[in-house]
Amino acid sequence: MRIQVDKLSTVFLSDQIRQQITDRIRSGLLKENDPLPSIRNLGSELCVSPVTVTKAYKKLEADGLIERIHGKGTFVKGGLFNAPYTPDKKERFQWQTEVKDYLGRAQFAKEMHLIDFDHPYNLAEASICPELLPTKQVVKNATNQLSKHIDLLDDYGTGEGDIGFRTKLATILKKDDINTAPEDLIITNGGQQALNLIINTFIGANDVVVIEAPTYPGIIDMLVTRGARIITLPIDSSGLKTDELHLICEKYKPKMVYTIPRYHNPTGVSMSDKRKRDLISIAETYNLLIVEDDPWSELTFTKNKTKPLSSYDTNGHVIYVKGYSKLIGPTYRLGVLSAKGTIIDRLKFAKSNADLGSSILIQKLIEPIFEQKTWEKYTTQLALKMKNRAEIVCKILNEHAPKELKWTYPKGGINLWCTLPNEISAVDLLNSVMYKEGISFLPGVMFYYDQPKHNTFRLTFSYVNEKALEKGIVKMCRLIEEYIT
């Protein structure tokens, strides 16, 4: 276990220690019954007083995460959202526990393992219902499509991806007003790898990064792992609060802002055009890198789709990231990032260091769906289907949900963000009621770095079929009502 404290931070040292141990327990990196270092040892390792460590351990005990056994030491406690996930039961070697690692957190990985895909009412998985995906068509034409390009399959190809494929993607992205070109693109293994390359390349210990609260949990894991100083900024109905960002820039000199401006994950909110202009202007003033994560903007429920942040950027500040898993399915592990100038050059080197480039075979296999007309037709139809599902869900919620439950009406994407009464914990609700009834959703706590709102959860309407969706939401409403009263 590697804990690091930042003595210049305004966060109490004991809270820093508490947060890092919490992260590792919630990630499953520390497992049930794993011993924690003694107070004396941890104190001397971090050069902090034993009193500070004691404070941290007492809080962790109060949080229900650890247990202090007199005369034996301090140990990690179990529980569904604590430490139970062991990928596989197997031998453990004592000496290995002394091997320090640089993994700060992997909470998203662990929580995803908790999703039971066999749940009839899986409202947790942010994927598209298999029957709506083009998988069958792609598989059917696989031999033909690959035969056509067999000469390209013999070599590594360029690390940034096949030029033919990048050209097609660039055309589609430009149609969406994204300021890009084939040479500005790197093909990645899903959006996740794009984010990972960016964070590993530009963010290191104590670099300040601003993220929205709530936000995509995967990015929190990456930032914690790099030892970044994370500043969270709540969003409102117009997205990231740019006026507050101004103050943060003055005070903390951030290097990067990570944002999901269109149909934000998990809240569904879109950034207003005014805020987009403000954000770019702030980036220019303070020389910020902006990561625009855009996983499902194609799934828009209104006539006029809002513009990408990238379209306002003329000075190379925005790194645009698009994962295609939410649109064409996760099996291709396909994503893309777009950036300008030396930023994209450096990311190309990072991609090469990471894996020498993504599979050319996959790119050629899936290429036909990225023909502009095919893509537009496919995504328009998928958007209609998702809009229909969103309407079904909202209708049922209007009819069946207890009045204490609040939710957002999404204008795009695949999620609703729900808020329970303050005193209700979504984790407890999931744990004690929903799971055994075959319903799963993602508790809101996952989406916060600090100060989590325990009474929130994300409800995904894209994965199960419509019938199960209807039945599941009705059932969920009834269970919530019973749970509250």
On whether the CB atoms of residues 424 and 182 are closer than 8 A, the answer is no
The only residue of 80, 114, 142, 433 in contact with its own copies, by rule CB under 8 A:
142
Q: Which stretch binds its own copies (CB under 8 A): 36-44, 70-78, 126-134, 473-481?
A: 126-134
Angle at 412 between CA 411 and CA 417, to 5 degrees: 80
Q: How far is the CB of 454 from its own copies (least distance, A)?
A: 24
The only residue of 147, 237, 304, 451 in contact with its own copies, by rule CB under 8 A:
147
**Residue 239, beta-bridge partner list:** 236
- Residue 67: φ, ψ to 5°: -140, 130
The only residue of 11, 51, 62, 153 in contact with its own copies, by rule CB under 8 A:
153
**Smaller CB separation from its own copies, 117 or 409:** 117
- Residue 382: φ, ψ to 5°: -65, -40
The only residue of 180, 189, 259, 265 in contact with its own copies, by rule CB under 8 A:
189
Q: What residues from 260 to 299 belong to the interface with its own copies (CB under 8 A)?
A: 287, 289
Q: What residues from 338 to 377 belong to the interface with its own copies (CB under 8 A)?
A: 340-343, 345-346, 348-350, 352-362, 365
Q: How far is the CB of 353 from its own copies (least distance, A)?
A: 5
Q: How far is the CB of 342 from its own copies (least distance, A)?
A: 5
On whether the CB atoms of residues 107 and 23 are closer than 8 A, the answer is yes
Q: Does 12 help bind its own copies (rule: CB under 8 A)?
A: no
**Residue 122, beta-bridge partner list:** 440
**Smaller CB separation from its own copies, 126 or 416:** 126
**Smaller CB separation from its own copies, 184 or 293:** 184
Q: What residues from 76 to 95 belong to the interface with its own copies (CB under 8 A)?
A: 86-88, 90-93, 95
Distance in angstroms (rounded) separating the CA atoms of residues 381 and 365: 22
Q: Does 136 help bind its own copies (rule: CB under 8 A)?
A: yes
On whether the CB atoms of residues 465 and 129 are closer than 8 A, the answer is yes
Classify 234 as helix, strand or coil: strand
Distance in angstroms (rounded) separating the CA atoms of residues 485 and 483: 6
In 328-389, DSSP assigns E strands to: 335-338
**Smaller CB separation from its own copies, 183 or 236:** 183
Q: How far is the CB of 398 from its own copies (least distance, A)?
A: 31
Q: How far is the CB of 331 from its own copies (least distance, A)?
A: 4
Neighbours of 280 (CB within 10 A): 22
**Smaller CB separation from its own copies, 365 or 476:** 365
Supply the DSSP string of 291-318, one letter for each residue: EEE-SSTT-B-SSSPPPPGGGG--SS-E
Q: How far is the CB of 432 from its own copies (least distance, A)?
A: 27
The only residue of 52, 74, 192, 379 in contact with its own copies, by rule CB under 8 A:
192
The only residue of 23, 176, 212, 221 in contact with its own copies, by rule CB under 8 A:
221
359 Rama sector, left if φ>0, alpha if ψ -120 to 50, beta otherwise: beta
The only residue of 17, 39, 53, 184 in contact with its own copies, by rule CB under 8 A:
184
Q: What residues from 28 to 87 belong to the interface with its own copies (CB under 8 A)?
A: 28-29, 86-87
Q: What residues from 92 to 111 belong to the interface with its own copies (CB under 8 A)?
A: 92-93, 95-103, 106, 108-110
Distance in angstroms (rounded) separating the CA atoms of residues 416 and 472: 14
Q: Does 203 help bind its own copies (rule: CB under 8 A)?
A: yes
For tokens 């513009």, the residue is 307
- What are the residue ranges of helices labelled H in 401-437? 426-429
**Smaller CB separation from its own copies, 71 or 87:** 87
**Smaller CB separation from its own copies, 350 or 474:** 350
Here's the x/- map for its own copies, 416-455, by CB under 8 A: it reads as ----------------------------------------
Neighbours of 352 (CB within 10 A): 15
Q: Could you tell me the CA-to-CA distances from 434 to 121, 128, 259 in Å, in that order?
A: 10, 22, 31
Q: Which stretch binds its own copies (CB under 8 A): 58-66, 73-81, 182-190, 375-383?
A: 182-190
Roughly what angle, to the nearest 10 degrees, separates helices 13-27 and 39-46? 110
On whether the CB atoms of residues 296 and 324 are closer than 8 A, the answer is no
Q: How far is the CB of 92 from its own copies (least distance, A)?
A: 5
Distance in angstroms (rounded) separating the CA atoms of residues 99 and 428: 35
Q: How far is the CB of 270 from its own copies (least distance, A)?
A: 25
Q: How far is the CB of 90 from its own copies (least distance, A)?
A: 6
Instruction: Tell me the two tokens of residue 222.
Output: 């990456």
On whether the CB atoms of residues 161 and 187 are closer than 8 A, the answer is yes
Q: How many residues bind its own copies, per CB under 8 A? A: 99
